């Protein structure tokens, strides 16, 4: 029996749906109507839950795939960048933070693409990187809610998030260099 295409794996469909959810989320973020914050928060939570579920289903159903290793982090990066840029244009998030987040993602994408194309290797994310992404998500969510208390918390979260971004990026770069040396 022929194995079905990886695109139809539950985990990959969930990752694709996360990207599709950006359309209504972006629309709600740039329009003004009563109750939009509730819809936005629900969509962001759905996107976060989908990020947890795609990995869970990939492992549980033994559907870990090469496509999934690409599409899941790509969905995360696209989501973070789109939401960050909208918040930046609305002056609800710091410019320097958006620059750091985008540079981090470009750095990981560039080195990941190199390893994939030259060595046919894909590095998995590291645990500090996952915590960094979670902290980035909290900053974005708090900025979206526009709640004064949560926005005050963001000042502290910026420091924590930047520290985690730097630490996880250094770890990623070390693993990248070790992998390149190992496969020369």
Given a contact cutoff of 8 angstroms between Cβ atoms, the answer to whether 68 and 54 are in contact is yes
Percent of the chain with pLDDT over 70: 98
Given a contact cutoff of 8 angstroms between Cβ atoms, the answer to whether 48 and 109 are in contact is no
Q: What is the reported pLDDT for 146?
A: 78
- pLDDT tier for residue 4 given thresholds of 50, 70 and 90: low
Question: What is the phi/psi pair of residue 117, to 5°?
Answer: -75, -40
Of 127, 100, 12, 105, residue with least CA distance to 58: 12
- pLDDT tier for residue 21 given thresholds of 50, 70 and 90: very high
Residues sharing a CB contact under 8 Å with residue 132, sequence separation 6 or more, in sequence order: 104, 161, 164, 165, 167, 168
Cα 60 to Cα 101: distance, rounded to the nearest angstrom: 31
Given a contact cutoff of 8 angstroms between Cβ atoms, the answer to whether 88 and 102 are in contact is no
3 or 138, which is more confident:
138
Average pLDDT over residues 77-106: 93
146 or 174, which is more confident:
174
Four-point Cα dihedral 84, 89, 90, 93, nearest 10: 40
113 or 126, which is more confident:
113
Whether the pLDDT of residue 1 is over 50: the answer is no
Encoding tokens for residue 32? 């003004």
Whether the pLDDT of residue 86 is over 60: the answer is yes
Average model confidence (pLDDT) across the chain: 89
Q: What share of the chain is helix, strand, coil (3-state, %, to 5)?
A: 80, 0, 20
Whether the pLDDT of residue 14 is over 90: the answer is yes
Average pLDDT over residues 172-181: 90
Whether the pLDDT of residue 47 is over 50: the answer is yes
Q: What is the reported pLDDT for 91?
A: 94
Given a contact cutoff of 8 angstroms between Cβ atoms, the answer to whether 41 and 59 are in contact is no
Q: What is the reported pLDDT for 109?
A: 85
Question: What is the per-residue pLDDT across 26-45, written as a single tens digit (0 to 9) for each?
Answer: 999 999 888 888 899 899 99
- Give the DSSP H/E element, type plus range, for residue 75: helix 66-89
C-alpha distances (whole Å) from 151 to each of 35, 57, 76, 91, 142 are 19, 34, 23, 13, 6
Whether the pLDDT of residue 155 is over 60: the answer is yes
Q: What is the reported pLDDT for 3?
A: 52
Cα 97 to Cα 111: distance, rounded to the nearest angstrom: 21
Given a contact cutoff of 8 angstroms between Cβ atoms, the answer to whether 121 and 174 are in contact is no
Average pLDDT over residues 116-123: 82
């Amino acid at each position: 029996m022929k194995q079905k295409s990886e695109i139809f794996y539950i985990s990959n469909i969930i990752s694709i749906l996360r990207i599709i959810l950006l359309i209504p989320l972006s629309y709600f973020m740039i329009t003004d109507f009563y109750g939009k914050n509730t819809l936005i928060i629900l969509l962001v939570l759905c996107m976060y839950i989908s990020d947890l579920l795609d990995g869970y289903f990939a492992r549980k159903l033994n559907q870990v795939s090469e496509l999934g290793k690409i599409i899941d982090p790509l969905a995360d990066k696209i989501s973070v960048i789109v939401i960050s840029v909208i918040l930046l244009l609305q002056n609800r998030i710091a410019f320097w933070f958006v620059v750091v987040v985008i540079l981090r993602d470009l750095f990981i994408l560039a080195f990941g693409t190199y390893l994939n194309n030259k060595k046919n290797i894909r590095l998995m994310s590291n645990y500090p990187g996952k915590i960094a992404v979670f902290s980035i998500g909290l900053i974005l969510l708090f900025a979206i809610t526009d709640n004064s208390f949560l926005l005050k918390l963001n000042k502290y979260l910026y420091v924590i998030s930047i520290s985690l971004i730097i630490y996880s990026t250094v770890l990623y770069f070390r693993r990248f260099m070790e992998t390149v040396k190992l496969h020369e």
